[in-house]
């Protein structure tokens, strides 16, 4: 990824015209997550992230594929669980 090239591309007028509503989409998702709400329009979020990553010469599909191949290794814990640790939900 070329950060310099991406900055140059973001500064060009034709690119700015392609981003209307872009900042609102990201802000709406941020607010949903901050307030522990489900994302109201997931596809709008994906579209905004895809366009942003494309500007930085990345591809969200490649990132998604790389994440799908990650193996999560559960940590081991030293402190035993007690009734006082249970959280009522």
User: What residue segments make up the domains of the chain, in order of their start?
Assistant: 3-74
The pLDDT of residue 6 is 55
DSSP code at position 75: P
Q: What backbone phi and psi angles, to 5 degrees, belong to 43?
A: -65, -35
10-41 pLDDT per residue, tens: 555 555 555 566 678 888 888 888 888 888 88
Looking up tokens 């900055």, which residue turns up?
A: 7
Tokens for 87? Answer: 């959280």
35-46 pLDDT per residue, tens: 888 888 888 888
Its pTM stands at 0.50
């Amino acid at each position: 990824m070329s950060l310099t090239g991406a900055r140059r591309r973001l500064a060009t007028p034709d690119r700015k015209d392609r981003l209307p509503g872009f900042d609102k989409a990201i802000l709406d998702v941020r607010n949903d997550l901050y307030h522990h709400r489900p994302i109201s329009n997931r596809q709008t979020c994906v579209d905004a992230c895809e366009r942003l990553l494309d500007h930085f010469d990345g591809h969200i599909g490649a990132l998604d594929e790389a994440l799908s191949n990650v193996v999560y290794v559960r940590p081991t814990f030293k402190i035993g669980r007690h009734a006082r640790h249970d959280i009522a939900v």
